[in-house]
Amino acid sequence: MPNILLALNWKMNKTPSEARAWAEELSTALPQTSAQLAVLAPAIDLVDVASALKGTPVQCGAQDISAHESGAYTGEISAAMLSDIGAKYAIVGHSERREYHAETSQKVAQKAAAALAGGIVPIVCVGEGLDIREKGEHVAYTVAQLQDSLEQLSLSSAAQLVVAYEPIWAIGTGKTATAQDAEDMAAALRQELRSLYPAHADQIQILYGGSVKPANIAEICAQPNVNGALVGGASLEVASVVDMAAALR
């Protein structure tokens, strides 16, 4: 079974000075936990966060990554740039980027491949909206989204992949999927991963995201196919991160 990953997505929150203060506070408050922690910070915060967390077991990463290696791509950040500052992860295909930046699964697949080629672990996000859930089509929809979002990935690079299931109706709404909902989808995604990458599928971390907080994280992450959480709102306060890490002990 893969280790549990507690991935913290700050989204567009925290100035560099706030980020530094958070990272310094966390490094002195870290509880004993078996979970790996990773902070996915805004790009402008990352150098400071990486330096404040140096020497701690907490990793850092970006919330997006370029599909390109380098060159004339104004505003983008490459895998090589992230690797150079010691970042480990990049979220790709978060539903907010799919919606507000028109990112298609094809683009997400290119970004995931570029991340892996540059030594960054992509956290590939998938998940359905409320309309699809209400029609009962969520499993087929999300599995197809995963297939499309991984299309460029080689068999061997899949060993480094992380997948996050984030139902859009549960993001920032306080409506968490039940632990059973999370498990049902994670099991379906695992099955798809087994057919795509038989050698690695059982080691790929599948995270759940959507209104995860200290009170519900343990039950969600105890599900057999759920190997961690991708947390938004509850990642902003150090105290709540400490409580979540402690709940995963």
Contacting positions for ligand 13P (CB under 6 A)? 9, 94, 166, 171-172, 209-212, 230-234
Beta carbon of residue 127, minimum distance to ligand 13P (angstroms, whole number) = 9
**Nearby residues of 94 by Cβ (< 8 Å), 6 or more positions away:** 9, 63, 64, 125, 166
Does 94 participate in catalysis according to the annotation?
yes
Structure tokens at 83: 């690797």
207: left (phi over 0), alpha (psi -120 to 50) or beta: beta
* Neighbouring-strand partners of residue 230: 7, 209
In whole angstroms, what is the distance from residue 72 CA to residue 235 CA? 34
237 is catalytic: no
Closest contact distance (angstroms) between CB of 91 and ligand 13P is 7
Residue nearest to ligand 13P (CB): 232
Using the minimum distance from each CB to ligand 13P, give the nearer residue, 121 or 234: 234
For ligand 13P, give the closer residue by CB, 169 or 197. 169
Q: By C-beta, is 188 or 207 nearer to ligand 13P?
A: 207
The span from the CA of 216 to the CA of 233, in Å, is 14
Q: How far is the CB of 220 from ligand 13P (least distance, A)?
A: 11
Marked catalytic residue, from 128, 166, 183, 192: 166
Per-residue tokens: 239: 């105290």
Active-site residues: which are they?
94, 166
